[in-house]
Amino acid sequence: MDTQGARLPSRRTALRAFIGSIAVSTMLGIWALLAGGFGELQVKVLLSSLSVSAGSLCAMGGAAAIEARSERGLGVPAIALSGLSLALVLIGIWAEADAEAYWKFTATACFFAAAFAHTSLLGLARFKPVHRWLSTAMLWLVLGLAGYGAVLLWSEASEEAAYRFLGVLSILVAAGTLATPVVHRLDAAPAPTGATNNVAPLPLGTSTREVSMLCPTCSVNFQHSLGPVQCPQCGAQFQLQMTNGA
């Protein structure tokens, strides 16, 4: 079964929905700005269009994780929280909610929607075993930042030290976010010419014809000949052999 082909419809549907939401938000935003007067209605329309765009971006992060079959399962909560957050924001805008608890709950949902979308995208990176600690650290840092921000919001903390710690968490998340794609790229880079690897030479009787395969560990698609195989992305080693059909 071609799993890669089976994933294409969901990806196309998500991309079309995302592009559609951007188009609608763009037209509404332009209308709000170019309308004769910039009153309360135009402000609501502009805020709604911005909210839809932000919610769509977060949902796309979750959809990307689902499409890639991320082992962490963060895609579904990312999409669910994105939808919940968007609904709460739109209701608050158009119903003119003024309850403090309502907006605190809405902001908390937005924090975690962004956090799950963020970790879903970071989870797409594939590391060698020696670097996998970075993925785990980023998961806890991003979710910790969202949780700590929610605690500060609800407790209405005013201590300077509390916000200094928030700044430290934000810097660590930013640094890890920048480092993740770099490490992913370095781990996926092919070995230099003349370099040796840990894969034993092909035994006698194996074929040098390359076949397309999916790594059973990280699901990356690559080509290799029959015999001992080492994944060029995650470094997993396994044996590829041909068996006679029934």
Q: What is the pLDDT of residues 59-82, one digit of tens each?
A: 888 888 887 776 567 888 998 999
Output the pTM of the full model: 0.68
Return the amino acid letter for 184. H
pLDDT per residue over 166-222, tens digit each? 999 999 999 999 999 999 888 875 544 444 444 444 444 444 567 777 777 766 677
Q: Is the torsion defined by CA of 94, 96, 102, 108 positive or negative?
A: positive
- 180 CB-near residues (< 8 Å, 6+ apart): 122, 125, 134, 135, 138
Residue extents of the structural domains in the chain: 7-188, 210-240
User: Quick one: which of 153, 45, 41, 166 has its CA closest to 100?
Assistant: 153
pLDDT top residue among 102 and 227: 102
